[in-house]
Structure 1
Amino acid sequence: MLERRQIERVVQLALDEDAPSGDLTSETFIPESASATADLVAREPGVFAGTEVFEVAMTAYDPRVVVDLLIADGERFEAKDVLARVTGPARAVLRCERIALNLVQRMSAIATQTAAYVAAVEGTRARVVDTRKTTPGLRALERHAVRCGGGHNHRFSLSDAVMAKDNHVALVPDITRAIQDARAALPHTTHIEVEVDRMEQIEPVLAGGVNTILLDNFSVDELRAGVAQVAGRAIVEASGGVTLETIGDIARTGVDVISVGALTHSVRALDLGLDVKVS
């Protein structure tokens, strides 16, 4: 769950970066007594993520700003829909406008992208999950956006689970023994996952007692064969080069999990705008 303290930390860093010693334009052009009402308007359709983030960002400089949210996280919207209304001191609204938009535009883009991937695997057993390919400092927000889009989260950090990737495997002479040693050294609740990139690696990894085996950059036929070989002895995850065009075929091989870096690492910010209403 996205915690408010995580949001506040990100927002404060963003505000310090964007207005380190004030907003020269607003303080010069806008009277201190002026008030403003502005609508958060969608320029294109999508799935929203970041209601609390938008509220925290818009009220970060002046708590007199009031945010009326007209949409919930995970809800779809169309172009021209009004998603929220902001009222309060004009200088405060203008100072926080850009950071609030930057955050919810990216989060909503991730939610929208995730929803498309989730729809593409409908009717299969596969769970669409994210990766650690996130924007530094924004992982908690981006992971929340994935959930808003109907996806699931992989391990949050290196501290959460054992996941031996290709570079780890290349540095151990006996992968079966390495997994067994790790299992003996770790608490029984710790999840162990190991990546393989060749069929002949599957049995040695399973012999070590992994919880999840990651089949990396396998073809669809290889994935199908890999699932049959694992035969329920571990969770099977597929990864590597997954696109909207290929994920359906990957899901139909019978894998349990498909991890998709593109959910977070290469999305285009969704077009949302904050339009001040002129009376």
Structure 2
Amino acid sequence: MTPRPHAVQGTITRGTTNPNRLRRVDRWLSGPAAPRLRRAADPLVVDLGYGASPITAVELRERLSVVRADVDVVGIEIDPVRVAGARPLERPGLTFRVGGFELPLDGRRPVLVRAFNVLRQYAESEVAPAWDLVRSRLAPGGLLVDGTCDEIGRRSTWIAVDGADGPVSLSISLRLGGLERPSDVAERLPKALIHRNVPGERVHAYLNALDSAWARNSPLSSFGVRQRWLAAVSAVKAEGWPVLDGPARWRLGEITVSWDAVRPR
């Protein structure tokens, strides 16, 4: 059932998307976040604001089916024209509908909601209310992933927002080849943090710490950029930054830290 237009919460985004653009966050959803999906009584997942092309929802269904073959992905878009264009791709486990942050799912509650490059186009003051609305619709143990990435997915960041506890972590995932410094990802921080990358803010200090560790470990580049990155992440963890993952994730160009370490002051 499609909700009445006045019930839709949100505004139409530019809709820019590309195949494989969200591979980095999908790799995290099928990795560290996978236990939530495995435990779910209803394996419902939402691709919120998928954009002008439904390809990201199609890819999400394929990638999460490795975790649970019965995963049910619903692509939600505020633009009825985009939804109509996606409908021919519907099949068991993949459907599309008109809606916004209110998640029109006929009473069902998703365990995972991926909202990428959506809130980036909103004001910072609108982020927390959007988070809270989505959280109110999640299943017990559910998670909202609010993130941003560049046009082809080389640089990506996301905040994991727990349905019960609110934001719990910030993840950064980078293509290491050609990386000059980790803080190059700053322009792709989620809306809740992008304007906070200034002196005195925690996320600014965090990115500076990553840059410093990256610079100190430049001699390791002769052994490959991945070795340099592993050493840099190990260094920031040793300095006391609350890194939540381990070398298996770091090798992917990824690092996740506790939200308390980067949250706005």
TM-score (norm 1): 0.24
Higher relative contact order (CA 8 A, sep 6+): 1
TM-score (norm 2): 0.25
Larger radius of gyration: 1
